[in-house]
């Protein structure tokens, strides 16, 4: 009886401690910027999720708020090789302002903690660049 009680207690403790970690973890969303709102403080991201069937594509419009602390980088391909000398040339990353984000940019947004709609970091890739 004591073993059963201890086993149940261990399982309950493991489940209880794993839920906050999932809620506080980092989440990424990727898609195209379709709208810039609130004087540039919010972007609306068109994100492709799993399709339900051919008549129900998994497209969602996700508003993401930007703060002064949001790290925003423009990521561009470079033809220069890095020190690793991998099979593909690398990428360079340049810090930009939120005002430099354009409708049509492809972005990857990183959120953290319980604020799932607030960007901690944002990587921007320009179409055709």
Query: Does residue 40 fall inside a structural domain?
Result: yes
Q: Is 18 contained in some domain? A: no
Within a domain: residue 84?
Answer: yes
Distance between CA atoms of 120 and 108, rounded to whole angstroms?
11
Residue 85's CATH number: 2.40.50.320
Does this model's pTM top 0.75?
Answer: no
Q: For residue 20, is it within any domain?
A: no
Is residue 11 included in any domain, yes or no? no
Contacts of 52 (CB under 8 A, 6+ apart): 58
pLDDT, one tens digit per residue, over 23-59 is 568 899 999 999 999 988 999 999 998 877 777 778 8
CA 125, CA 11: separation in Å to the nearest integer? 44
Boundaries of domain holding 120: 25-125
Tell me, yes or no, whether 5 lies in a domain.
Answer: no
pLDDT (tens digit per residue) in 94-117? 999 999 999 999 999 999 877 788
Beta pairing class for 119-125 and 71-77: parallel
Count of domains forming the chain: 1
Residue 4 lies in a domain: no
10 has a pLDDT exceeding 60: no
Q: Is residue 47 part of a domain?
A: yes
Residue 38 CB-half CA count within 13 A: 10
């Amino acid at each position: 009886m004591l073993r059963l009680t201890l086993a149940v207690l261990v399982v309950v403790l493991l489940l209880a401690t794993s839920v906050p970690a999932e809620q506080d973890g980092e989440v990424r969303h990727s898609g195209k910027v379709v709208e810039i709102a609130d004087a540039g403080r919010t972007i609306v991201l068109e994100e492709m999720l799993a399709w339900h069937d051919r008549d129900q594509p998994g497209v969602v419009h996700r508003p993401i708020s930007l703060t002064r602390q949001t790290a925003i980088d423009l990521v561009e391909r470079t033809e220069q090789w890095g020190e690793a000398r991998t099979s593909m040339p690398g990428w360079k990353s340049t810090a930009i302002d939120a005002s430099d984000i354009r409708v049509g940019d492809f972005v990857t947004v990183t959120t953290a903690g319980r604020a799932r709609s607030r960007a901690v970091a944002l990587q921007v890739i320009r179409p055709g660049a």
